[in-house]
Chains A and B, each alone.
Chain A
Amino acid sequence: METTFQDVLLIGGGGAGLRAAIAVAEAYPELSIGVVSKVYPMRSHTVSAEGGAAAVIGPGDSLDAHAYDTISGGDWLTDQDAVEAFVREAPEEMVRLEHWGCPWSRTPDGHVAVRPFGGMKLERTWFAADKTGFHMLHSLYQTALKHEALTWYDEWFATRLLVEGGRCQGVVAIELGTGRVHALLARSVVLATGGAGKVFAFTTNANVKTGDGMALAYRAGVPLKDMEFVQYHPTGLPFTGILITEAARSEGGWLLNKDGYRYLQDYDLGTPEPTPVKRSMELGPRDRLSQAFVGEVEKGRTIDSPYGPVVHLDVRHLGEKKIDAKIPFVRELCLKYQRADPVHELIPVRPVVHYMMGGVSTGLDGETALPGLYAAGEVACVSINGANRLGSNSLTELLVFGARAGRAAAEFAKEQPEEPGRDAVAQAVDEERRLGRLLEGDGGGNGAERVAPLREAMQKTMEEGAGIYRDQAGLEHAAGRIAELRERYGRVALDDRSLTFNTELPAYLELGCMLDVAETVIHSGLERRESRGAHQRRDFPERDDERYLAHSLAFRSEGGDAGGGAPRIELQPVTITRWPPGERVYGR
């Protein structure tokens, strides 16, 4: 068993992981830091984020205004202490990124430019044209390269947390290039593995977004919070699921049904104006826009496409010059992947799974219920997003809570003894044996099942049973199907038994993670008998603050490693500081 030791280990090399790594390196240069990522860090899914990152900058804006938009946007399921920390630290983090070279779009006098965004009352979304996530990720990665304290474990796949003496002491990881299994021991670990969109069939998420970090924490007994809240972004391209950024609407784009009618006016989202009005119509929040789409489907006012019903996003009236200046990537993506030029043509779009509001339950410094384990970014749920995330808050969240988690993990690491645990190594040896058995075709599988068909069945199940609208019967049916798939998962046999860059083994392990995540989504959704934000129950259409102004916590049930089974769901009160629950009002 090959073992190495780092003071702080980051799992995930996207925005949150890199920000955490830099935070540790800057604050505690004496600490050793490992960045473990299953892809080269610049391939991480942060790269795909388009529209922007929110932080108060302009005159007339205020931290309270950003907080209120975020809290009401999240349908009051946000923890307001977390939101207050978030909006307070956001501007500094964004300036820091500017100092690290991020090519933010500018005003003529050289200041950073901001644009409006859905659910935001004022312009506070910083942007780098419409490749904001790409530029943020590359700026962070290139800046991180200068820190010699960082050891890069590129294309290493973490499969298990090592827990000894009641604290997290590292991970087991497969070095994908060679197939070698390593014990990466550490004094503290930060999960920054991102979301789990691939649990669903139709998603903007990259192939790597398989909920690995969520599953690792869950299996170690850490609860997953608010997993029933899955964000559908209203504008995805129909076949590929490629995202057409909200910036297309914030720059003035319209959503039209088959009659060319701006249908959002029929869904209590305001009255149509020729130019964008903030917190109104096309600049309403994502949950409400995606729900309005379903309304149009039911009224028979959508357009049929080979990939299901669509509506149209119309940006033609913005003109070629503005499109090329402000949303060039939208044009590039439409031309390349939809073979349509938005300068002259309508863009067919439909809602697409985009973001997990839920995740590993953390406190304000990314700390989890397991000492030594931290989490930040989409993998985490510190509860700034509540029941519906506002566009452009997640990129900022990576920075604010990535930095916080990094610093907290470093401080924790400094207080731990130097000697890594023996039990941790023994656990790693166990894990190495389990992985070895899978490659020997002796993982219990008899060859009857393959990875891809099970994954497709899971994705279809989730789409049908846990989509934009849900009910008891649909969720229960989905729960039964997932349990069945979990049982079939035990019979998978791999085609690929080789050690050198085996990509089927990680795909198999990812599927296991996704089945865990799927179960928490469904069972948390069953437990929440109300409608709030992105969780809409046909059988309980109203928000119920009396019973459910509370987070759901999904704990793994005691069923042994193989079993899993339905998680145990507990409720935990929401933290309210200054904004008592109220009505979500858009467009009036």
Chain B
Amino acid sequence: MAQETVTFEVRRYRPEREEAPVWERFEVPVREEWMVLDALNHIKDHVDGSLSYRWSCRMGVCGSCGMTVNGEPVLTCATYVASLPRDRPVRVEPLAAFPIVRDLVVDIRDFLVKLKKVKPWLLRKEERSPAEGEYLQTPEELADYKQYSMCINCLLCYAACPIVPLEPDFVGPAAIALAQRYNLDSRDQGQAERMAALSTEHGVWACTFVGDCSVVCPKHVDPAGAIQRYKVSATADWFRSVLMPWRGR
């Protein structure tokens, strides 16, 4: 178990103590199989119990531990310390684009409001009772939305998106991808209802298709693709002929 000492610079903000965030430096004895989260846990357990951050599953599926490491939004439980440059300290900051609550913890309540706005649940004109059995769905129909159902709500995409800080009302990549997850589900009949939240200047039309959201997504959900696909379908009725060349994408 090879071990080396790595310098971490961690953004601290304790509102009862500091007016603005400060950097704090920690020397951490890191093993080769450690993730950034393991280093934070070492600091909390053995150096300073007051360091605050969120984490839980440490297997990349609960979505709690997104932070900014060396300027990039990542899941800290899935980022090897060894993968980071050794010529400078590892810098850990809270996820960008959200208000900081304390240290590495950000306020994500706004995301939940937006998520609910797009009605991320199956909408049916008539509900079937369980006694009538399952809705049929072929593997091909499942494949049509499956990718968008993989979102773990880690919000790295909001931190990466250049529009989010400029347009506070922008619904944002994950919420739109999850709306599309239901829109494209063969069992769902709620596309028209979701349009109220999606097809506005705060919905898909705020997106300028930079695509950073898809680059940082740890689950390959491709929110940018979801947004683009929605733009196409939303306008198809009116501008079918204009947009036809894009449809092959």
Contact = CB atoms under 8 A, between A and B. Distances in A.
Interface string B146-165: 10011111000000000000
Interface string A141-169: 01101100000101000000000000000
Residue of B33, B49, B139, B145 with most partner-chain A CB within 10 A: B49
A154 B110 CA distance: 13
Contacts of A275: none
A132 to B, nearest CB: 12
Contacts of B149: 103, 135, 138
B36 to A, nearest CB: 13
B135 A98 contact: yes
Interface stretch (A5-13, A104-112, A215-223): A104-112
A300 interface: no
Interface in B103-133: 103, 105, 107-109, 112, 115-116, 119-122, 127-128, 130-131, 133
A92 interface: yes
Contact of A498 (B14, B54, B62, B135): B14
Contact of A500 (B101, B127, B133, B182): B101
B142 A502 contact: no
A429 interface: no
A359 to B, nearest CB: 20
Contacts of B188: 101
Given A40-B108, A499-B16, A99 B61 contact: no
A337 interface: yes
Contact of A98 (B14, B59, B116, B134): B134
Given A206-B56, A450-B49, A504-B50, A110 B136 contact: yes
Nearest to A146: B121
A131 B176 CA distance: 22
Interface stretch (B21-29, B40-48, B195-203, B235-243): B40-48
B64 interface: yes
B60 interface: yes
Contacts of A333: 59-60
A383 interface: no
Nearest to A207: B56
Residue of A96, A145, A453 with most partner-chain B CB within 10 A: A145
Contacts of A337: 59, 78
B136 A111 contact: yes
| Binding site secondary structure of chain B | loop
Interface string B5-26: 0000000001111000000000
A500 B120 contact: no
B109 to A, nearest CB: 8
A326 B16 CA distance: 50
Contact of B62 (A48, A101, A104): A48
B49 A504 contact: yes
A138 to B, nearest CB: 7
Contact of A45 (B55, B57, B63, B103): B57
B229 interface: no
Interface residues of B, number: 65
Contact of B101 (A208, A456, A501, A507): A501
A142 B118 CA distance: 11
B59 A108 contact: no
Contacts of A500: 14-16, 101-102
A108 B49 contact: no
A452 interface: yes
A424 interface: no
Contact of A143 (B52, B108, B121): B121
B122 to A, nearest CB: 4
A39 B56 contact: yes
Number of chain A interface residues as a range = 35 or more
A103 B121 contact: no
B49 A99 contact: no
Given A103-B185, A112-B134, 18 more contacts: A39-B54, A39-B56, A40-B108, A43-B64, A105-B142, A131-B61, A134-B61, A142-B120, A143-B122, A145-B115, A177-B107, A240-B59, A243-B59, A451-B45, A495-B49, A498-B14, A501-B105, A502-B52
Q: 5 smallest A-B Cβ distances: which pairs?
A: A110-B136, A452-B45, A495-B49, A496-B50, A501-B102
23 contacts: A39-B56, A39-B62, A43-B64, A47-B61, A96-B130, A100-B121, A101-B182, A103-B142, A103-B146, A109-B138, A135-B149, A145-B121, A207-B57, A240-B58, A495-B50, A498-B14, A498-B50, A500-B15, A500-B101, A502-B50, A502-B52, A503-B52, A504-B50
Interface of B: 1, 14-17, 33, 44-46, 48-50, 52-64, 78, 101-103, 105, 107-109, 112, 115-116, 119-122, 127-128, 130-131, 133-139, 141-142, 145-146, 149-153, 178, 182, 185, 187-188
Interface of A: 39-40, 42-45, 47-48, 92-93, 95-96, 98-101, 103-112, 131, 134-135, 138, 142-143, 145-146, 152, 154, 177, 206-208, 239-240, 242-243, 306, 332-333, 336-337, 450-453, 456, 494-496, 498-504, 507
